[in-house]
Amino acid sequence: MNKNKIGYSCLLLSLAFLSACQKKPPAMGGFAVPVTAAVVKQKDVPVQIEAVGNVEAVRTVSVKPMVAGQVMEVHFREGQDVRKGDLLFVIDPRPFQIALSKAQADWARDTAQQKNAQTEVKRYEGLIKQGYVSAEQYDQMRTNASALNATVGVDQTAVNDAKLNLQYCFIHSPIDGRTGAVLIHPGNLVKANDTPSLVVVNQIQPIYVTFAVAQEKLDEIKTFMSQGALKVVAIPASEEETPVVGKVSFIDNAVDPNTGTVKIKAIFPNEGKTLWPGRFANVKLTLRTESNALVVPTQAVQTGQQGSYVFVIGPDMSVKIQPVVVDRSQDSESVIKSGLKAGDKVVTDGQLMLGPGMKVMLKK
């Protein structure tokens, strides 16, 4: 009998324990759940398209020799900023100086003969009138003068070519930009237009950022672009970097059928050289500004089976579930299309412990 009483007592204790576990959380009573909250604000919010872009140099030049010879000098440091016209390399100019001197000497010799032939033609003009020379002799003199005229022209071309080849020995930067690694060092022999390049120069001021947007946005982008330049903000992959402001400069003339996107290119002054060729950047393209939009911190918006909702705190510090329609989210804020009004107070942290009608207290 004692065993039955003990078993009956244990059963009562178990039922009491289960009943206590099934009771509602103490927050439904006098206990208030600590939460953080924010007030629904009304402000002007930019309508933006976000994408990941790739930084590209405005111009990239692979510097190659135009003449064959030995590299004698390098006049820059790797990674140095250079200006258009700055001397980069010197190829041994001596063979080309000799070639120029020879071409100039040939030109001088043939020019002297040309002048003599022209004088003879004028002299023969007088002699043929007086009958001292035959027409055949006169024609021969004129032919000789014409041949020398042509020879002088060829000589002048050879002189110009020799001067050009001599200029090619002194290789200057074709653009403003930054040099890469020196690929050919002094002492090496190079050939005209041979590979590899001597150096690659990238123009990074200004600089491009190329990104892709969905084709559904194309008409909207074109509409606002026709009204003026579209502002673009680029933030390098490291969020600590300072955003760089630029504008759209190019929209591709075709949609990529494989991805359903269209390529857009924006140009940036890049004064601080934050953007670097080959680097990725987060891009925000601003189409327009929406006035008096309702915004809440994105962390306030929860998602349930019925859609998006927030916990709204009433005057008595109790909460209710309020369905909302989110228009879009950008940065750390969500733009609310319907369901809230300016001044409403919504919970931003602590939602997991809340239910309808529960009391809350604001964390300090």
Cα–Cα distance, 66 to 71 (Å, whole number): 12
pLDDT of 19 above 70 = no
Mean pLDDT, the chain, whole residue set: 87
Supply the pLDDT for residue 21.
38
Q: What is the dihedral of CA 100, 102, 104, 105, to 10 degrees?
A: 160
Supply the pLDDT for residue 96.
96
Mean pLDDT of 184-193: 92
**pLDDT band per the 50, 70, 90 thresholds, residue 15:** very low
Supply the pLDDT for residue 161.
96
* CB contact set of 109 (below 8 Å; sequence gap of 6+): none
pLDDT of 339 above 60 = yes
Angle at 106 between CA 102 and CA 112, to 5 degrees: 145
pLDDT of 235 above 80 = yes
Cα–Cα distance, 284 to 229 (Å, whole number): 14
A 10 A CB-CB count for 130 gives 7
Which residues, listed in sequence order, are joined to residue 74 by a DSSP beta bridge? 89
**pLDDT band per the 50, 70, 90 thresholds, residue 11:** very low
* CB contact set of 151 (below 8 Å; sequence gap of 6+): 110, 113, 114
Supply the pLDDT for residue 28.
47
**Angle formed by the axes of helices 94-130 and 135-168, nearest 10°:** 160
Report the DSSP pairing between strands 33-39 and 360-362. Answer: parallel
Supply the pLDDT for residue 3.
44
Confidence (pTM)? 0.70
pLDDT tens sequence across 42-86: 999 988 899 999 999 999 999 999 999 999 999 999 999 999 999
**pLDDT band per the 50, 70, 90 thresholds, residue 240:** low
**pLDDT band per the 50, 70, 90 thresholds, residue 140:** confident
pLDDT tens sequence across 263-275: 999 999 998 888 9
Q: Which domains does the chain have, with CATH numbers?
A: 26-43+292-362 (2.40.420.20), 49-58+203-290 (2.40.30.170), 66-92+169-197 (2.40.50.100), 93-168 (1.10.287.470)
Mean pLDDT of 140-155: 89
